[in-house]
Amino acid sequence: MTDDFVPAHPDQPGLDPAVDAGEHGDAILSLRDVSKVYQSGDSEVRAVSGATMAVEQEEFVSLLGPSGSGKTTLISMIGGLLSPTSGQILVGGTDVGALSSRELTRFRAERVGFVFQSANLVPFLTARENLLYVSTLQKRVSRKEAQKRADQLLSELGLADRAKNLPEQLSGGERQRVAIGRALMNDPDLILVDEPTAALDTQLGRQVVELLAREVKQRGKTGIMVTHDLRMVQYTDRVFEILDGHLTHVEQPSALQH
Amino acid sequence: MNLALTEMKRSKLKFGLLIGAVALLVFLVLFLTTLSTALVTSITGALNGLDGQVLVYSDAARDNLQASRLPPTVVAEVEKVPGVAAAGGVTLGTVSAELLDGSGDLQLVGSTAGEPGAPTGLVAGELPARKDEIAMDGSGYALGDEVTLSEVDRALTVVGLLKGSQFNASPTGYVVPAVYDEVVRAANPGVPFVPLNAVAVAVSPGADPAVVAQQITDDVPKVKGYVKGDAVSLIPGVESITQTFGILVGLTFVIGIVVIGFFFLILTVQKMRTFTLLRAIGASTGKLSAAVAVQIAVVVIAAGILAVLLTYGAVQGLSTGIPVTLSPVLVTGTVGAVLLFSLLAGLLSIRRISGIDPATAAGAR
Ligand SMILES: Nc1ncnc2c1ncn2[C@@H]1O[C@H](COP(=O)(O)OP(=O)(O)OP(=O)(O)O)[C@@H](O)[C@H]1O
Ligand SMILES: [Mg+2]
């Protein structure tokens, strides 16, 4: 189990969240005994069972696991896209499971940057516009600020000369980088990245992950990257593994073979 | 960064074609309505434009002005009916005349200016007061032109121009009763009197025209009183024209709305992945629905402008012989109605958007 990182009570439900938060220090993200059961017809799929974890600011962790093990389900719950069947998810003190669907929409707009497994960009918007649209989802950013931020992100991601291109005019790696820029655009607390390298060759994959790691560190974010590519975990601080819905913190990712 | 407008800018062809299609449908609605209004006005204008609220025909006329024959003495009898403030005789018939464009039929109306039964559609000059004067509607007359009535071989000077005052969709001339009588007597020498076709009645202030009309029917023998609007809609043909065009316009309108509704539904379904992504990154259902509504509004307004230009062009190029004008009330009313119903049809799309589960963007299957 993951007791070396989360020192106490991984399987004790119903604890006071304040107490819990205290025990995790400055953990931006903490999960306690989170489960997700999908109901499809008569059958139930237990995609995640009793997941407990904590991730701190400026930490970039990876989430490893074979296909169908529950990786996407887990980060979808963390990102406010899915509600857990049981357990508690705290993001910067917010109990995500307790939010209404309207509040969840705002939570996603303001607190989370998500890079999805597929279909990340709006096809009829240019790279720059894909970033700018994010700022229209929040009231607090002025147009000027947004443009400055978008341009800065694009140039950090090496896309300055690609800003005016539509997604269909970009390579897979460029698209992936635009998606990362999009995820960073709203200055989120949490960056959740689902298989950023799946569609890329090793060389490009490394570049993208290095870049992610750099952004997380430089901007003081908390990042979770889902992958099943063991070579990518070297860029992350810690590794979690999920097998059949059971989450564990592992010391030696290189020992894992899928 | 406006999502709706940026998309339209990027897909000019797609939205251009839609605007074109909607414009044609709005054009059809405008054109058909304009045409039917013009047609109905050309048939009803004269009667509708007669001064007075109540018309009196002979009871044997079967609601038809042209079949109505009344002795001139009936005017005095009608005037005695309670609720009648004033009454005036109206004569009407088809005569031959030398018109600007050669000889032809002229609808000749005899009535007295200032009395009930005088026309109200004067747009220039004045109503005839003397036996050598005439006021014209139709055939492109100008003040000072001459009209020769063939039966009496007399030239009358055009002293007034009227609009929307045609009878039977033909050129119509308004003269003093004496001129009309003269024409009839020339064609039928020895008639004991020239019958009136109708008596127009101005009701006393505060009196209900319907009550007065009924009172006249009851009090005066052998006549029937009508509220003017009823008499107008009883003109043969008016109802069928109104109905036929009503069906055409209604169908075109409905087709237009359905086209818009389905087109945007298709666009929405095509964009489901994008909408799901946007929901997942924190766009609200309301914001995405607003984007659809903005696009519908832009399409309808652009199509409306195009349709008005088309209709205007068509009306200018039309040579129907009846005056056709494009009414601003009709234009704004039609475009407004299309916009309203299109937005309602857009609810089809909005229902799809509100059904999106943002979690599917993450692809947890
Ligand atoms: N909406 C759903 N309804 C029912 N079962 C689901 C649903 N979404 C996912 N699952 C099931 O839950 C389990 C975990 O799915 P999940 O997508 O989280 O896996 P994953 O680790 O992301 O896999 P991959 O590496 O292939 O992306 C799988 O068995 C999957 O079939
Ligand atoms: Mg997945």
**Three-point CA angle A55, A60, A63, nearest 5°:** 80
Measured between beta carbons, which residues in chain A are less than 8 angstroms from residue B274?
Answer: 119, 122-124
**Contact between chains at B282 and A136 (C-beta distance less than 8 A):** no
Q: Is A44's C-beta closer than 6 angstroms to any atom of ligand 1?
A: no
DSSP string, chain A: --TTTS-S-TT--S--HHHHHHHTTTEEEEEEEEEEEEEETTEEEEEEEEEEEEEETT-EEEEE--TTSSHHHHHHHHTTSS--SEEEEEETTEEGGG--HHHHHHHHHHHEEEE-SS--S-TTS-HHHHHHHHHTT-SS--HHHHHHHHHHHHHHTT-GGGTT--GGGS-HHHHHHHHHHHHHHT--SEEEEE-TTTTS-HHHHHHHHHHHHHHHHHTT-EEEEEES-GGGGGGSSEEEEEETTEEEEES-GGG---
- pLDDT recorded at residue A5: 38
Residue A96 confidence (pLDDT): 93
Interface predicted TM-score of the whole assembly (ipTM), two decimals: 0.85
Q: How confident is the model at residue A228 (pLDDT cuts 50, 70, 90)?
A: confident
**Mean pLDDT lowest among A153-167, A238-252, B185-199, B319-333:** B319-333
Q: What is the pLDDT of residue B320?
A: 62
pLDDT digits (tens, 9 = 90+) for B328-339: 888 899 889 989
**B294 interfaces chain A, CB cutoff of 8 Å:** no
Establish if B259 touches chain A: CB-CB under 8 angstroms.
no
- pLDDT band per the 50, 70, 90 thresholds, residue B1: confident
Whether B211 has a pLDDT exceeding 50, the answer reads: yes
Residues B143 and B161: beta-carbon distance below 8 Å? yes
Domains of chain A: 17-254 (3.40.50.300)
Answer yes or no: do B361 and A110 touch at CB < 8 A.
no
CA distance A125 to chain B (A): 7
Cβ–Cβ contact B329 with A under 8 A: no
Percent of chain A with pLDDT over 70: 87
**pLDDT tens digit sequence for B187-209:** 888 888 999 999 999 999 999 99
A226 Rama class: left (phi>0) / alpha (psi -120 to 50) / beta: beta
The answer to whether residue A123 scores a pLDDT higher than 50 is: yes
Residue B17 has pLDDT above 50, yes or no: yes
Minimum CA–CA partner of A146 in chain B: B1
User: Which positions in chain B touch A129 (Cβ < 8 Å)?
Assistant: 1, 6
CB contact under 8 A, B361 and A116: yes
| Each residue's pLDDT tens digit, B167-193 | 877 889 999 999 999 999 998 888 889
The per-residue pLDDT for A253 is 56
pLDDT over threshold 50, residue A4? no
Ligand with smallest separation from the Cα of A65: 1
pLDDT tens for A184-208 read 998 898 999 998 877 777 787 888 8
Out of A47, A72, A166, name the one closest to residue B362 (CB): A72
Closest Cα in chain A to B7: A124
Segment of A198-212, B113-127, B229-243 carrying the highest mean pLDDT = B113-127
Q: How far is the CA of A67 from the centre of ligand 1 (A)?
A: 8
pLDDT over 90 for what percent of chain B? 59
pLDDT at A10: 38
pLDDT in tens, A82-116: 999 999 999 988 999 899 999 999 999 999 999 99
Taking only Cα atoms into account, the Rg of chain A, rounded to an integer number of angstroms, comes to 18
Residue A240: predicted pLDDT: 94
pLDDT at residue A25, as a whole number: 53
Task: Say yes or no: CB of residue A73 within 6 Å of ligand 1.
Answer: yes
Look at residue A120 in the predicted model and tell me its pLDDT. 87
Say if CB B350 and CB B286 are below 8 A apart.
no
